[in-house]
Amino acid sequence: MDQEPQAPQESADDQPKIFKSINGWIAGVTGIVIALGGLAATWDRLFAPKQAEENVVAEGHPVAAADAPDEAAGSDQAPTEAANSYTTDQYGRIDYQEGGTWAETDAQGNVTEYAHQSDKDGWTTAVIEQGGEEGEDALLRWPNAGGTAQKSVDGGDHWQDAYKVTRVEEEPTG
């Protein structure tokens, strides 16, 4: 009546137990590979030094503070890095005027004047004081080398892409 423990018997197909769950192993390894791939793709975002602040473009694309123009610079300074003229992809222009203003001219010839605010970190920023929706400053900024100009009508809290600008190279005088 003593029963001896019996060794587990393998099933009739004689496959080792590990191979019966091979689909489980494949799913597990696939999940680990996908997780590691996602971690590798976002490693620099997860462990990069945090920026002090970020500006968010209207479409939700963050612009790091180091890449954004410095709106706190003095408004009486003439542009140093910027060109004096830019054309837009909407058949307009942005031209620097004597006295520290930028004239934005659209395709119909309508001119909006902005006071020069800053020329720093590769960006030029111009302002219409209290020209925004609720009395905030209206801002226009663009990369000095050309690229996407952006406008803000709420004092720089939100930026919206306006148009592309191309730097007009000045003719050498000689």
> Which tens digits make up the pLDDT trace of 150-168?
998 888 888 999 999 999 8
Query: Domain segments of the chain: what residues?
Result: 17-47, 70-167
Bigger pLDDT: 10 vs 40: 40
Contact 105, 163 (CB under 8 A): no
Task: Tell me the pLDDT tens digit for each residue of 67-111.
Answer: 444 444 444 455 655 678 999 999 999 999 888 899 999 999 999
Instruction: Using the structure block, give the residue that is written with the tokens 């009508």.
Output: 153
pLDDT of residue 58: 38
Contact 91, 105 (CB under 8 A): no
Distance from C-alpha of 157 to C-alpha of 124, rounded to nearest angstrom: 17
